[in-house]
Amino acid sequence: MTMKVVQRYLLVLFLLLMAGSVQAERIKDLASISGVRSNQLVGYGLVTGLDGSGDKTSQTPFTIQTFKNMLQQFGIKMPPGSNPKLKNVAAVSIHGELPPFAKPGHKIDVTVSALGNAKSLRGGSLLMTELKGIDGKVYAIAQGSLVVGGLGVEGADGSSLTINVPTAGRIPNGALVERSVHSSFGRGNKLVLNLKQYDFTTAKRMSDAINQLVGPGVAKAIDGASIEVTAPTDRSQRVTYMSVLENLEVTPGESSAKVIINSRTGTIVIGKNVRVSPAAVTHGSMVVSITEEAEVSQPNAFGAGETVVTPQSNIDVQQENNKMFLFEPGVTLAEIVQAVNQVGAAPGDLMAILEALKQAGALRAELVVI
């Protein structure tokens, strides 16, 4: 893909972002209910059944310790001082997310990751492992066969090939919920809706839309991120009530003017409301080439001198004569992209231009570099 094609693609993308008007969105897409949230779970266990790709127990003593503790729970005692050479066992961490309103008997997905120096978890099975919350209580039990997308192979000469990450995998529906988390959803006569992106305009429009549907004074914006709503105290009525509210459509407020720059990938996204004050910009590149040559100095036939080699440096400077372009007051997004494309600036050059405009106080937007 040539640079011109990339620039045309960016221009089309920016124009679409600018031309697209703000559409109404459902409340369920704009906000979440306070107290209705997921919780993180974590555990530690063993994966068995590996094809010789487990932990090297001489370097991971915690794997041996865990293995011995497991055997003791089954009434098996190993001789004192024994050190089994395990190749098919790996110590792993397990983490998952307990969704809101999850009840005992529900199943959740878990991710299993190697903790030691296991080369691959492919073909392994996780033994029964407790998953605990931040309070130290057990909320789920995980067990099952791993699904590993990665692949790792090694030859006899030491050469190896690794595809993706073979030391991590998932177990779909691999954990059984044993304890539910109490939610504040059914308490009191108030609910708080928290915007996923704070915006005073969106908060006011959401409260106005709810009041228009239900009645005056039912909803009020607490701040730029929260709307307090009066709700029925009966749980079944509250569910029906929230079903109606979450499908209510609200037109969100336009976001503040921002320019997002990803310095690693060269991706640049310019928001709709970005403006530029009067400014003149030129952007050129200078190429300096230094070459070394060796000159031989040889005396005449009757001289008593010696032949010597003298280094000679040649310096060549080339500079592109790019045109200067002028930003008029209140320049829009389309005009910014068009002006930059006229001088053939690459994404890296565009980054430098935008940063220079911000330093000059001519870019009316927040410049965010990620």
Q: Is 90 exceeded by the pLDDT of residue 229?
A: yes
**158-to-55, 154, 310, 351 alpha-carbon distances in Å:** 18, 6, 48, 44
What was the pLDDT predicted at 43? 96
> Containing H/E element for 56?
none
pLDDT reported for residue 203: 92
- Alpha-carbon gap, residue 265 to 347, rounded angstroms: 10
Query: How far, in Å, CA of 270 to CA of 367, rounded?
Result: 9
Question: What angle do the packed helices 333-342 and 347-359 form, to 10 degrees?
Answer: 120
DSSP string, 248-273: -EE-PPPPPPEEEEETTTTEEEE-TT
33 Cβ contact list (under 8 Å, min separation 6) = 185, 191, 192, 193, 194, 242
Strand partners, 327: 279
Say if pTM beats, i.e. exceeds, 0.75: no
Among 110-114, 118-122, 171-175, where is mean pLDDT lowest?
118-122
Q: Which domains does the chain have, with CATH numbers?
A: 3-20+257-285+321-369 (no CATH), 39-177 (no CATH), 186-250 (3.30.70)
- Name every residue whose Cβ is closer than 8 Å to that of residue 268 and which is 6 or more positions away in sequence: 10, 259, 260, 261, 262, 347, 350, 351, 354
User: By the 8 A CB rule, do 326 and 342 touch?
Assistant: no
Tell me what pLDDT residue 166 has. Answer: 87
What 3-state class would DSSP assign to 144? strand
Give the residue ranges of DSSP H helices in 144-260.
200-214, 235-246
How far is residue 232's CA from residue 245's CA, in Å, rounded to a whole number? 13
Q: Is the pLDDT of residue 9 over 50?
A: no
CA dist., res. 97 & res. 282, Å (int): 52
pLDDT at 85: 76
For the ranges 25-29, 40-44, 144-148, 302-306, which has the lowest average pLDDT? Answer: 302-306
Q: How confident is the model at residue 319 (pLDDT cuts 50, 70, 90)?
A: low
The pLDDT confidence band at residue 222, using thresholds 50, 70 and 90, is: very high
**pLDDT for residue 161:** 62
pLDDT of residue 87: 85
Strand 325-327 and strand 308-319: the pairing is unpaired
Can you tell me whether residue 355 is helix, strand or coil?
Answer: helix
What's the Cα-to-Cα distance from 255 to each of 38, 202, 287, 343, rounded to whole Å? 27, 10, 41, 30
Is residue 342 within 8 Å of 305, Cβ to Cβ?
no
